[in-house]
Amino acid sequence: MFNASVNLKSKLNSTLVAVVAVVSAAALPAAAQAKITEIGDVTQPGTPSCPTNPCLAMTRTTGYQAKVGPTRGLMLAPASGRIVALTLALGATNTKQTQFFEQRFGGAPQARLTILRTGAHLFDRVVAQSETFTLTNYLGQTVQFPLAQSLPVAKGQLVALTVPTWAPVLAVGLPNDTSWRASRKGACNDIATQSLQTAQSSIGSLAQYRCLYATARLTYSATLIPNPTPNKKPAPKKK
C-alpha cells in the first residue's frame, strides 16, 4: 500500500510538471526567425559550357550576374545579415581543357566570394571577402562550400564571385536579356586582355565593372542568413 501511494504521488507530480511545462511554453513569445535566402538562386540556373566545345570559363576577374531575363539585381543582398556558404555549379573540363586553362591562367581553378559596395558609374568597392577555394576535386559537380568565417553584408550590397585563376562557371548560349559584368580593363572581348589579372583581391580595392557579357551567366549563388528582427512592441493601452 505504501509503495502504491508513492507511485501514485510520483505520477501526479510528473503530470503536474508536464502541464506546467506546456503552459509555460505556450506563454513564451514567438521567436524571431531569420529566413535563409539563396542569393542568385533561380528556377533555371543554367549549365556550365564545359566540357563541350567551345569550353568557356571565367578567368582572372571578379564578376556578378547583372540580370537573367526580366530579373535585375539578382545578386543584391535583400537584407542585412551574414553570408555563410558559396555554391558553384562547375563544368567538367576534360584533360586537354584543364591543361589549357592551368597553363594560361596561373594554375588550379579557384574561386572566392566578394562583397561589393556599389558606387556611381559602375565603380564598386570590396568590403568583405571569403577564403579562396580550390576547385580541382569538384569539377563536374554542384558543390556548396561553407565559409570558415561568415561575411557581413548590408542590404543592397553586391555578392560577387572572384576567380584569381579560372573556374568553369559560365553557362552560354542563353537569351540576349541575360548578362553578367566583370571588373576587366581594356577591350572586354580581347583574349589577351582577359589573360591579365583583374580580380579584386583586397579589402578596399575599387574597380569599374564596365565589361558586360550578354547571353551568358555565372553559375554561382550565396547563402544568406538575415539579421534577426525583434518582435514589435505592443501599442500602449489607452487609459
**Amino acid 34: pLDDT:** 63
Band the pLDDT of 41: cuts 50, 70, 90: confident
Measure the CA angle with vertex 154, ends 153 and 156; round to 5°. 115
Band the pLDDT of 20: cuts 50, 70, 90: very low
pTM: 0.82
Average pLDDT, the chain: 85
User: Phi/psi at 7 (nearest 5 deg)?
Assistant: -60, -40
**Averaged pLDDT, 203-216:** 95
What span, in angstroms and rounded, lies between the C-alpha atoms of 215 and 202?
A: 30
Q: Which helix (H) or strand (E) holds 13?
A: helix 2-27
CB 173 within 8 A of CB 215: yes
CB 51 within 8 A of CB 94: yes
pLDDT digits (tens, 9 = 90+) for 86-140: 999 999 999 999 999 999 999 999 999 999 999 999 999 999 999 999 999 999 9
CB 109 within 8 A of CB 135: yes
**Amino acid 145: pLDDT:** 98
**Amino acid 11: pLDDT:** 42
H-only helix segments in 61-215: 95-105, 191-194
What span, in angstroms and rounded, lies between the C-alpha atoms of 169 and 166?
A: 9
Listed range (63-72, 89-98, 163-172) with the worst mean pLDDT: 63-72
Confidence check: pLDDT of 24 > 60: no
**Amino acid 14: pLDDT:** 45
**Amino acid 22: pLDDT:** 40
User: Phi/psi at 105 (nearest 5 deg)?
Assistant: -120, 20
Q: How many CA atoms lie within 13 A of 120 on its CB side?
A: 0
What span, in angstroms and rounded, lies between the C-alpha atoms of 226 and 36?
A: 7
